[in-house]
Amino acid sequence: MNSLLIKNANVVFPDEVKLTSVLIGDGIISAIGYQGKADREIDAKGNYLLAGFIDIHVHGGGGADFMDATPEAFEIAVKSHLEHGTTTLLPTAMTAIESDLTDFLNAFKEFKSKSEYSALTPGVHLEGPYFSGANAKSSGAQPSGLLRLPDEAEMNRLLKVADGDILRWDAAPELEGSEMFARKCKENNIICSIAHSAATSEEAQKGIDNGFSHVTHFYNAVTTYRKEGQKVLAGVVEATYLNEDVTVELICDGRHIPRDILRLALKIKGAEKVAAITDGMRIAGTNMQNGKLGSLKNGTDVIVDDTVAKLPDMSSYAGSIATMDRCLKVLVKDYGINIVTASKMLSKAPSNILGFDNKGSIEIGKDADLVVFDNDFKLRNVIVKSFIQ
């Protein structure tokens, strides 16, 4: 057996932080508190050892966007996030014309066939294109001219190209055809998620009854309490809270979500149902000050202002420039969330949402996807199961 011992680590377990050692055998966590010898050793010097981060919503990084649709772009972005502690991620496509989505899916296949980094990407996420263009609040930075109603024929073609690669797909539940959308997702074992929606709580509830089980960047580009004329309405947020099983994700860059909203979501849902995401775009993991959201060819220009990506007219945020290490720091240092809870949001919740039982926490039998952070939340080491020689 090929063994690696990480000793003197403040290990962040699902329920506590404890100074101990973790033994890895053939890429799997095989013992906790092991005192003996191993083939190799890492002295963590009292630093934190956490489960590797799982980002279920990320558009790119390191200067590349997955919509660039080349295997090289996929590798650049995946590598860039790995350097910031993300050991599993779902490359995310945004609203686009069908041929751009097909190119994205084909590039993912090519990436899988030739890059060792594809071990970090179990599948992809389609954010759109079946969203509401009802108002700027619901469309956000999605190209409003390309938003459309769920289209069964188009879905069939994309599903055929994807051949099982799509793990989650987002749509607005109030749109005509969303019932068909949810049914198709279910038939294909795809997590069906509410996003960019102008739904009332009743419409969102109908979507949930039809199979929508997750909410994309909760609070961003979805509805909540509002007054329209003489009517008061509840929205996606309230329907989500009323349905215990519905999971959510929050952009934890410290800009998209105020601290008390994060605390509220945690209080109502519990940390195992609230995934931290970056929604990171091309600029994430770089010092670039502007770039394109989406493909280089057809993307939307964005600028960086106050550590977040915005449309050039500042009318909307346009994804984040965060990486998961920044999310950890925001959660623990800026928002005062304890590290056990933060770790759940960064690893366990997304793992639960994807239905994985071999990742997301430091427990015997789980994959050795691990990250070491010092007390200033600076990343010191990344260990990935598939790269352990």
**Of 124-132, 224-232, 340-348, 349-357, which part binds Zn ion (CB under 5 A)?**
124-132
Bridge partners of 127? 170
For Zn ion, the closer of residues 34 and 317 by Cβ is: 317
Give yes or no for residue 203 binding Zn ion (CB under 5 A). no
**Of 137-145, 206-214, 277-285, 292-300, which part binds Zn ion (CB under 5 A)?**
277-285
Token pair recorded at residue 203? 């419409």
Give yes or no for residue 249 binding Zn ion (CB under 5 A). no
Q: Which residues contact 246 (CB under 8 A, 6 or more apart)?
A: 208, 212, 213, 214, 215, 239, 240, 273
For Zn ion, the closer of residues 55 and 127 by Cβ is: 127
For Zn ion, the closer of residues 279 and 367 by Cβ is: 279
Token pair recorded at residue 242? 């009323």
Dihedral of alpha carbons 63, 339, 55, 72, sign: positive
* Interatomic CA distance for residues 389 and 1, integer angstroms: 11
Minimum CB separation from Zn ion for residue 293, in Å? Answer: 9
Minimum CB separation from Zn ion for residue 268, in Å? Answer: 23
Q: Which of 65, 279, 325, 367 binds Zn ion (CB under 5 A)?
A: 279
For Zn ion, the closer of residues 100 and 127 by Cβ is: 127
**Of 78-86, 150-158, 278-286, 325-333, which part binds Zn ion (CB under 5 A)?**
278-286
**Of 37-45, 116-124, 126-134, 297-305, which part binds Zn ion (CB under 5 A)?**
126-134
* Interatomic CA distance for residues 245 and 238, integer angstroms: 13
Indicate the burial class of 225 (C-beta count within 10 angstroms; 0-12, 13-18, 19 or more): exposed
φ, ψ (nearest 5 deg) of residue 74: -60, -45
Minimum CB separation from Zn ion for residue 140, in Å? Answer: 8
**Residues engaged in binding Zn ion (CB under 5 A):** 127, 279
